[in-house]
Amino acid sequence: MKAYIFPGQGAQFPGMGKDLYEASPKAKQLFDQANQILGFDITNIMFDGTADELKETKVTQPAIFLHSVILAEVMGNSFKPDMVAGHSLGEISALVANKTLEFSDGLKLVYKRALAMQKACEATPSTMAAVLGLDDKRVEEICSEIPGTVVAANYNCPGQLVISGDIEAVGKACEKLKEAGARRALILPVGGAFHSPLMEPAREELAAAIEATKFSEPICPIYQNVSSLAVTDPSEIKKNLISQLTAPVKWTQSIQNMIKDGATEFIEVGPGNVLQGLVKKIDNSAATGKAEI
């Protein structure tokens, strides 16, 4: 069974999507539509902008979403998912690809999400850190003992977990984690504490937009970040997507559940190849590949 997986923030690169735009009239139409929906020429930044310009959250998130969903669209009949999943932001890409969301609705939600997260980041100085070489349970225990806000945010693969919270608490947690035997505890160059309680203002803002958006019956199950389980019920998909901003991304558990449910091949749809690497670290026997037009 084929599983299609969609990347999140961090996968962007200058020039992304230009090959799609030039190769396909359908892609050109969708990119042009995106410029109109967003009210600015995101294609100019994607195709000709600098890495720094692409790093801005309000650009990064829609850019990755567009690259992913337009690639899936251009693949046409060769895009036949048995199941899908997306890492953080990638979950909305996956929901457009499996027909839960319309393209325009998905893009509007992504842009709303980016702006709401940006605002939450500016309200509270916060950060994230990658922790390598320590058991998930041990990381959770240490975080729970630190004063302030610091939580497990991304379960990326065994031995690689990202923590998230206020700057002081994350810094203290990094010290304690190294003392406990972590190979590395490295502060990440991000704007704030994604997938932590500090994103609550963004979650509330996004919740209203999600509630007002039509979610349809998908063509295949999505394994959502919050539960790591297969979901097909539109109301449950909605509820999980609302919870996503303040809850951890259970990527390891999602991939394990997809394999348990019959996935034999994982195709990454969108920029970069980070997710293929994570799948291999979760289960080395799983076949991985890259979506191409």
Q: How far apart are CA 125 and CA 122, in angstroms?
A: 7
Concatenated DSSP letters for 197-216?
GGGHHHHHHHHHHHHTS--P
* Torsion angle (degrees, nearest 10) of CA 213, 217, 219, 220: 100
Q: Which residues contact 179 (CB under 8 A, 6 or more apart)?
A: none
Cβ–Cβ < 8 Å for 136, 199: no
Concatenated DSSP letters for 240-266?
HHHHGGGS-B-HHHHHHHHHHTT--EE
Catalytic annotation, pick one of 24, 88, 126, 196: 88
189: its two tokens:
């160059």
- Bridge pairing between strands 265-268 and 287-290: parallel
Catalytic annotation, pick one of 195, 196, 228, 254: 195
Phi-psi region of 93 (alpha: psi -120 to 50; beta: other; left: phi over 0): alpha
Q: How far apart are CA 264 and CA 285, in angstroms?
A: 9
Distances (CA, A) of 224 to 85, 215, 232: 6, 15, 10
Q: Which of 264, 269, 267 is nearest to 286 (CA)?
A: 264
141: its two tokens:
């225990």
Secondary structure class of 54 (helix, strand, coil): helix
- 88 belongs to the catalytic site: yes
Concatenated DSSP letters for 85-125?
EESTTHHHHHHHHTTSS-HHHHHHHHHHHHHHHHHHHHHS-
- 67 belongs to the catalytic site: no
Any idea which residues carry the catalytic annotation? 88, 195
